[in-house]
């Protein structure tokens, strides 16, 4: 193999032995059927690919190169505070939480909470990225529909950007992650009539009160219901899947209508799922 051909081959398959490169990700995304018209909410585990040449920047670059508009949660749990008292069955232990001592004031350039992942924080740093100003549940988006998609978010309806995506033919893209982090399932919970919780966050002006979705740890239970709609692929070591947002939301609605406790987790120490069960199936 000539030096030049060798270099070209390396570029196609990644920038180093065993590495996943920009072109691998672009090809994998196109194989899923994504293109410039795609509106996509994306959840990524960077480590799931194996080694990515260029890291999160490469993943964000490939997503932007293939898709039209991208949106992802940039949630900032750092701002949350717990009051001494509040509404009942709110999935929260009231009282002086140690987190109150370390809570930070919301600011527009605040990084997303570390548990949200490195890709949202990379997208936040992109000069073309737009972010909502919700003090705890902000979204970051980039692309031609970003402004319109983000515009509807309010304190009462924090998931409005994902509702917009659902109603405009959008897709869910899971890269190396499961439905446990698939935020748009909350839109289905809302449409099925599941009432949201209430939370509070610090802003420079005041303590802001807003609606808050339930726990997502039980969302894998949606897997069978959406099976016919899933397009699967593999990029490096990562299992990737694209599902039409509407299919995910409709499946969640149907599951909850059939069983009001559907998609709740079974962890006995999960306060939100415990209180949601209590709300829909009060003990006698
Ligand atoms: Zn739970």
User: Ligand 1 center to residue 185 CA distance, Å?
Assistant: 14
Q: How far is the CA of 44 from the centre of ligand 1 (A)?
A: 21
Least confident of 42-51, 92-101, 147-156, 250-259: 92-101
Is it the case that residue 181 has pLDDT exceeding 80? yes
**Residues above pLDDT 90, as percent of the chain:** 90
- In the chain, where are the structural domains located? 3-280
Q: Is the pLDDT of residue 7 over 70?
A: no
Query: What is the pLDDT of the chain when averaged over all its residues?
Result: 94
Residue 267: what pLDDT? 97
CA–centroid distance, 214 to ligand 1, in Å, is 8
Q: Which residue from 265, 254, 262 is spatially nearest to 281, judged by alpha carbons? A: 262
| Residue 281 confidence (pLDDT) | 83
The confidence score (pLDDT) of residue 2 equals: 39
Which residue shows structure tokens 């890269």? 175
Task: Specify the pLDDT at position 284.
Answer: 60
Phi, then psi, of 259 in degrees rounded to 5: -140, 110
More confident residue, 217 or 5: 217
Torsion of CA 21, 24, 26, 29, to 10 degrees: -130
Rounded Cα gap, residues 44 and 57, in angstroms: 12
4-13, 171-180, 248-257: the lowest-pLDDT one = 4-13
Q: Residue 97: its pLDDT value, please?
A: 81
Residue carrying the six token digits 């949202």: 120
User: In this predicted structure, what is the pLDDT of residue 33?
Assistant: 98
Residues with CB under 5 A from ligand 1 (ion): 215, 217, 265, 270, 273
Residue 137 phi/psi, 5-degree rounding, is -120, 50
Answer whether residue 247 shows pLDDT above 60. yes
From 157, 135, 156, select the one nearest 80 (Cα to Cα).
135
- Write the pLDDT tens digit of every residue in 110-124: 999 999 999 999 999
**pLDDT band for position 50 (cuts 50, 70, 90):** very high
């Amino acid at each position: 193999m000539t030096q030049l051909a060798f270099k070209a081959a390396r570029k196609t398959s990644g920038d180093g032995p065993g590495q996943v490169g920009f072109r691998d990700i672009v090809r994998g995304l196109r194989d899923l059927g994504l293109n410039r018209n795609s509106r996509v909410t994306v959840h990524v585990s960077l480590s799931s690919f194996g080694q990515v040449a260029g890291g999160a920047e490469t993943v964000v670059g490939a997503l932007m190169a293939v898709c039209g508009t991208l949106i992802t949660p940039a949630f900032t749990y750092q701002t949350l505070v717990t009051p001494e008292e509040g509404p009942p069955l709110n999935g929260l232990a009231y009282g002086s939480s140690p987190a109150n001592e370390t809570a930070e004031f919301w600011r527009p350039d605040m990084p997303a909470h570390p548990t949200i992942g490195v890709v949202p924080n990379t997208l936040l740093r992109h000069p073309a990225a737009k972010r909502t100003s919700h003090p705890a549940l902000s979204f970051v988006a980039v692309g031609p529909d970003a402004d319109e998609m983000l515009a509807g978010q309010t304190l009462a309806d924090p998931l409005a950007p994902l509702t917009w995506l659902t109603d405009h033919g959008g897709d869910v893209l899971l890269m190396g992650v499961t439905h446990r982090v698939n935020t748009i399932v909350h839109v289905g919970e809302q449409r099925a009539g599941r009432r949201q919780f209430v939370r509070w966050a610090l802003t420079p002006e005041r303590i802001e009160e807003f609606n808050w979705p339930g726990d997502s740890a039980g969302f894998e239970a949606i897997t069978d219901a959406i099976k016919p709609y899933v397009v699967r692929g593999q990029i490096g070591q990562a299992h990737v899947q694209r599902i039409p947002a509407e299919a995910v939301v409709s499946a969640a609605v149907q599951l909850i209508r059939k069983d009001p406790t559907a998609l709740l987790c079974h962890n006995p120490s999960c306060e939100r799922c415990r209180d949601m069960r209590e709300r829909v199936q009060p003990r006698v």
